[in-house]
Amino acid sequence: MKIKRAELLTSCSKPSHFPAPDLPEVAFLGRSNVGKSSLLNALVQRKKLARTSSTPGKTRLIHFFHVEAGSDELLLVDLPGYGWAKVSRNEREGWQSLIESYLEDRPVLRAAMLLQDLRRDFSEDETLLLEWLAERGVPSLVALTKTDKLKPMRRKARIAELKKSLDAPMQAIIPTSSQTRDGIDLLWRRIHEMITDAD
């Protein structure tokens, strides 16, 4: 995929700061540390566009990235991670309502990309989230992250296990690695389908 543009448009802590809804958007969701920012960087071929960190809960704002990829122009949206972020309860609830107000009221949102570490099992957080998105008419894709962390045999077995275990509405499960770029081209093809389908 030829990336002609990838830049941070804006970072928001409240809905009134969200950019005008002019371009199709794809949002990245998932537990803290699952690899959202890394996957976004891998997609746009920029090592440090979205900030990554080994400290969970680093992404505390919604970041909107303006991207031109091939013939597509869109925003990729990096959402704060949920789960075991080392933050106060109050702060956690603040992020939750920020994420929900984005997902619930964003007419240009074409797809949600839910990330899941290949080495972990899906939890209720993921299945409830997929159901919640489906109820609101937001199509979702699941990206399994960090495939490079497992040896090929184990990787294959885990992919099969996770595919079998997921009982929630979504369009596809795509194994990925930001490090080896496994699955990145496939992810772009899916994103292209999602943002052009509804036109």
Ligand X SMILES: Nc1nc2c(ncn2[C@@H]2O[C@H](COP(=O)(O)OP(=O)(O)OP(=O)(O)O)[C@@H](O)[C@H]2O)c(=O)[nH]1
CB of 95 to Mg ion, least distance (A): 12
Residues 69-88 that bind ligand X (CB under 6 A): 81
What is the rounded distance in angstroms from the CA atom of residue 85 to the CA atom of residue 178? 21
Tell me the pairing of strands 62-69 and 72-78: antiparallel
Are the beta carbons of 38 and 184 closer than 8 angstroms?
Answer: no
Helix residue spans in the chain (DSSP H): 36-44, 89-104, 124-135, 152-165, 184-197
The residue among 130, 118, 195 whose CA lies nearest residue 156 is 118
Taking CB positions, which residue lies at the least distance from ligand X? Answer: 81
Footprint (CB under 6 A) of ligand X, residues 146-165: 146, 148-149
Binding mask 8-47 for ligand X (x = CB under 6 A): ----------------------x-xxxxxxx---------
Query: Interacting stretch for ligand X, rule CB under 6 A, among 7-15, 155-163, 164-172, 175-183?
Result: 175-183
The reply on whether position 52 binds ligand X by CB under 6 A is yes
Question: Residue 57 interacts with ligand X (CB under 6 A)?
Answer: yes
Stretch that binds ligand X, among 14-22, 86-94, 156-164, 173-181 (CB under 6 A): 173-181
Distances (CA, A) of 7 to 23, 40, 89: 14, 12, 32
Closest approach, Cβ 101 to ligand X, in A, equals: 18
d(CA 144, CA 115): 6
- Residues within the interface to ligand X (CB under 6 A): 30, 32-38, 52-54, 56-59, 81, 145-146, 148-149, 177-179
